[in-house]
Structure 1
Amino acid sequence: MTSDSATPDPADPIFISYRQNDGTDVAAELAWLFRAAGIPVWRDRDDLPPGDTEARLKQAIAAGISGGVLVTTPDVVNSRVVKTLEAPQLLDLHADHEVFALGITNSVKTAGGGTDYNAPDRLLELRPGTLSGVDQQPAERNGLLALLRGFVWHRIASLRERIEVTDKTFHLSLQTRNTPQVYDRTGDELDIRLRPSDHERLPSVGGLQDLKDTIGLLPDAVTRSGAHRLRVAGGAHLSVAFTIGAALPSSRIGYMDVIDQQGATWASDGEARFIAQPQVQIAAEGRSRSAITTGRPSVAVYVDLLPQRSDTAFVRYIEAHEPFLAGWLHLTSASGTLLDPTYAGLIAADVAAHIRALSNGNSNAEVHLLLRCPFPLALLIGRLTNTLRVVVHEWDDSDPVTGEDHRARYVPTLRVRASASAGVIEEVLLPDAC
């Protein structure tokens, strides 16, 4: 049997085929990793309406898919839907269309405890060797990441021609505040989505861990695409926006613009530097020659660029941490009014110059960054902080888990270093119960 579908669009989602009895956990983990890396996913529990299980692949194909993953678990042998409908049709699509990616994640073990690479053919009742040319990885975390890497490179290679004829612009969609579903895909080269959070303000810890494990693919994906420009749209927690910017530094991606929720464009403008006509001002600062420190010193920068000041969370942070800080800055907008996106690049450059100067002036101190600014600026500031070590914080005004201090606070969320070889996120700092 061969498929009669149209040529797949490489920007379309991936379909995950699995046996619910014992494959749900693997399929869910794989789906979140794909989404964190920017590849939308069709998965029945998240994206398909209630109804006949046999119709799930048909619905996905009708909407458009660019690849599939066969989740092979011991009980898949008992799934008529996977064996007779999903696996054969995914194989046909893979055979008929070079652009259609296919992979296998396999949790079946041999008697010796290794991955049983013959299990997919056997359990799906296929002729031995049918799946020998398909990328197959074990179902542990590292195996899922290896499988994902191949899908990302395949997707980007398949999209190079499209990028070539669209002003060599790479389009990236980013969202951390909505529940990810296949229906919110944009058709961009990558659609980064994180797990929804149970917390009213803070991002999902699991989602941040997914991002940590996948963000190393992002800069290579952009450069492999042949793009000369990067356009980002969406919305996100500011810690994540900053981190995405840090993963795409100006030294690697020359030009970036960010489209905000109102459709305005905030564009990058060169490197970190003090601006002749300052865009930000130092509202307050502090220095300490006797800061309590072990190892690398720490400094803090509060970037408060909204027109109405809100100092409570920052004051609380300084009260708790000033003895441990070699210095701190409170930066505000020089205009004191709503920011004009036209000057976004200059504002980001000015802010980054202040951050860099404070760190460099204190023995390359680690910067604790507290952001209160529009989402696009968090991205643009992040891309100008290469070589710096940054702990980026999130604002939280939820009721305290312990104690009676109900003031808003800043919570350390991610430790970021743009030059880290495995990806810019060195550590997820946000605790599970915040």
Structure 2
Amino acid sequence: MTDIIATHDPADPIFISYRQSDGTEICAQLAWLLRAGGIPVWRDKDDLPPGDTEERLRQAIGDGISGGVLVTTLDVAKSKVVKRVEAPLLFDSHKAHPSFALGIANAVEREPGKIDYSAPERLLGMAEETLSGVDQHPTQRDGLRTVVQKMLWHRLANHREIVALNDGTFSLSLQTRNAAQVYDRTGSQLDIRVRPSDHERLPSREGLIDLKDTIAFLPDGVTRTGARRVQVQGGGHLSVAFAIGAALPSSRIGHMEVFDQQGNIWASDGEAQFSTTPLVNISDSASNASASKPGRPAVAAYVDLLNQRSNAAFEKFIEDHDGTLKSWIHLTSTNGELLDPATAGRIAAEVTAHVRELSNKNGNAEIHLLLRCPFPLAALIGRLTNTLRCVLYEWDDSEPTTGDDYRPSYRATLRVRAGARDGVIEDLLLAADAL
């Protein structure tokens, strides 16, 4: 198989080798976890061009991969392609290139709850001890999550030199609506892809679960490369952009730049603070001293920074939460015009200062955050919210399932807290019946 062992770039995708008859579900779950973690994936179902399977596999793999995962199931012994092409190629590449990552997701157990470490060699027809140095993990969710973490650490360790040569800048791309395919990558250190939703407006609930399970790796991953600043490009749902920003707080990464779809740079290198010449003001507010709900007090902030007014969804939100909010504020830009990307850092700092003040004045309240702003600002605001507890919402104008209220709504999506031990996404709030 050495005829198609190619040199590889650390930004190349990970190849998943599996048997379709009993490995498809495991492979799909692993692929989306890898993508949510920021690693592009090469998978036959998504990326194999028409033609002879074995020859197309050889061509595709020869184009460049940075590592592979062998999904070991009982039926893998019946796959000539896995045994003759994929497994030998991945193992030979691992031997030839120390930077080539190789892992095993093992579904074969020797007894309940304990994987059979000898199964991959036996089922693939390899000599004993051939794979002895390769990490093996079970195919339950926690095991697949560990596979992703190992692959991520390996990938980012190989990016240290690239980041250093780029003046300590870590590059990250984000999309929440793209279909799965290997060519959806930018050469960044990470290409985070949340599986797309069937819903016209709301993100995929399963995709958010993938992100929740992998976002805890992001802060340490960036640190692993020695980065001093982060550049973000792409687009997607604002709650996800906010969560990515919260995972890379200003206390950890001093400078963040976000590129919009026109190539403009929205940058932040400060902290939450008010300005002597405000760019953001409170256009409306209300308080309710008698408001109550179980647990921590709740407040709301409507961050309304687009130049055309559209308050119907916010008004509906206030009606729906009557009696539970201690206070709410409606933030708008002072001039009501299109925002200047050059002022993004000041805008994000002022918005977060207002939000933090609102929480502090109401007993360290949880903040229900309704964002109506450009994608870059959502990420820049998120990075300044360290210690704040925020509930993020997405705008939805779907037809009502009951009643005749046709106003758009804000749907609770994520509970986010920067600095949380197990990752900034503490809870997934998007209800299955909202999709």
Answer whether TM exceeds 0.5 for this pair.
yes
1:145 aligns with 145
Work out the CA distance in 2 between the residues paired with 1:387 and 1:134: 39
Work out the CA distance in 2 between the residues paired with 1:405 and 1:110: 57
Deviation by residue 1:28-68 (Cα, 9 ceiling, x = unmatched): 00000000000000001112223322134323223311000
Deviation by residue 1:79-115 (Cα, 9 ceiling, x = unmatched): 0110011100111100001111000001011145521
Work out the CA distance in 1 between the residues paired with 2:326 and 2:426: 22
1:421 aligns with 421
Work out the CA distance in 1 between the residues paired with 2:140 and 2:3: 32
Q: Quick check: 2:7–2:64 contact (8 Å CA) kept in 1?
A: no
Name the % identity: 65
2:225 is aligned with 1:217:
no
2:427 is aligned with 1:411:
no
Q: Which consecutive aligned stretches of 4+ in structure 1 deviate over 6 angstroms post-superposition?
A: none
Describe how 1:214-363 pairs up with structure 2 within 5 A: 214-363=214-363
Deviation by residue 1:377-407 (Cα, 9 ceiling, x = unmatched): 0000000001000000000001122332111
Work out the CA distance in 2 between the residues paired with 1:415 and 1:49: 40
1:136 aligns with 136
Deviation by residue 1:143-192 (Cα, 9 ceiling, x = unmatched): 00111111101001111011111111000000002213211100000000
| Structure 2: segments with no counterpart, 5+ residues | none
Work out the CA distance in 2 between the residues paired with 1:233 and 1:336: 26
Query: Which amino acid in structure 2 is aligned with residue 131 of structure 1?
Result: L
Work out the CA distance in 1 between the residues paired with 2:375 and 2:398: 21
Q: Indicate how the Cα distance of structure 1 residues 149 and 3 shifts in structure 2: closer, same or farther if over 3 A, else same.
A: farther
Q: Indicate how the Cα distance of structure 1 residues 157 and 113 shifts in structure 2: closer, same or farther if over 3 A, else same.
A: closer
Shift of 1:287: 0.4
Work out the CA distance in 1 between the residues paired with 2:231 and 2:105: 33
Work out the CA distance in 2 between the residues paired with 1:23 and 1:156: 28
Q: Indicate how the Cα distance of structure 1 residues 112 and 243 shifts in structure 2: closer, same or farther if over 3 A, else same.
A: closer
Q: Indicate how the Cα distance of structure 1 residues 5 and 120 shifts in structure 2: closer, same or farther if over 3 A, else same.
A: closer
Describe how 1:4-403 pairs up with structure 2 within 5 A: 5-403=5-403
Q: Quick check: 1:399–1:406 contact (8 Å CA) kept in 2?
A: yes
Structure 1 length-normalised TM: 0.98
Work out the CA distance in 1 between the residues paired with 2:365 and 2:410: 19
- Over aligned residue pairs, what C-alpha RMSD do you find? 1.1
Shift of 1:264: 0.2
Work out the CA distance in 1 between the residues paired with 2:248 and 2:221: 10
Deviation by residue 1:210-244 (Cα, 9 ceiling, x = unmatched): 00000000011111110111000000100000010
Query: Which amino acid in structure 2 is aligned with residue 15 of structure 1?
Result: F
Q: Indicate how the Cα distance of structure 1 residues 3 and 94 shifts in structure 2: closer, same or farther if over 3 A, else same.
A: farther
Query: Which amino acid in structure 1 is aligned with residue 293 of structure 2?
Result: T
Q: Indicate how the Cα distance of structure 1 residues 430 and 56 shifts in structure 2: closer, same or farther if over 3 A, else same.
A: farther
Deviation by residue 1:337-371 (Cα, 9 ceiling, x = unmatched): 00000000000000000000000110100000000
Q: Indicate how the Cα distance of structure 1 residues 113 and 254 shifts in structure 2: closer, same or farther if over 3 A, else same.
A: closer
Q: Aligned to 1:34, what secondary structure does the other structure show?
A: helix
Query: Which amino acid in structure 2 is aligned with residue 207 of structure 1?
Result: G
Q: Indicate how the Cα distance of structure 1 residues 181 and 4 shifts in structure 2: closer, same or farther if over 3 A, else same.
A: closer
Q: Quick check: 1:15–1:60 contact (8 Å CA) kept in 2?
A: no
**Bigger Cα displacement from structure 2, 410-419 vs 55-64:** 55-64
**Bigger Cα displacement from structure 2, 30-39 vs 50-59:** 50-59
Q: Aligned to 1:399, what secondary structure does the other structure show?
A: coil
Work out the CA distance in 2 between the residues paired with 1:195 and 1:118: 34
Work out the CA distance in 2 between the residues paired with 1:113 and 1:214: 23
Work out the CA distance in 1 between the residues paired with 2:308 and 2:47: 40
Q: Aligned to 2:114, what secondary structure does the other structure show?
A: coil
Deviation by residue 1:118-144 (Cα, 9 ceiling, x = unmatched): 100000010011111001100110000
Work out the CA distance in 2 between the residues paired with 1:239 and 1:38: 17
Query: Which amino acid in structure 2 is aligned with residue 270 of structure 1?
Result: G
**Bigger Cα displacement from structure 2, 101-110 vs 175-184:** 175-184
Q: Quick check: 1:269–1:346 contact (8 Å CA) kept in 2?
A: no
Q: Quick check: 1:180–1:194 contact (8 Å CA) kept in 2?
A: no
Q: How many residue pairs were aligned?
A: 434
Work out the CA distance in 1 between the residues paired with 2:403 and 2:22: 42
Work out the CA distance in 2 between the residues paired with 1:269 and 1:253: 9
Query: Which amino acid in structure 1 is aligned with residue 331 of structure 2?
Result: L
Query: Which amino acid in structure 1 is aligned with residue 192 of structure 2?
Result: I
Q: Quick check: 1:3–1:92 contact (8 Å CA) kept in 2?
A: no
Work out the CA distance in 2 between the residues paired with 1:413 and 1:3: 49
Q: Quick check: 1:3–1:93 contact (8 Å CA) kept in 2?
A: no
Q: Quick check: 2:4–2:62 contact (8 Å CA) kept in 1?
A: no
2:2 is aligned with 1:2:
yes
| Structure 1: segments with no counterpart, 5+ residues | none
**Bigger Cα displacement from structure 2, 73-82 vs 5-14:** 5-14
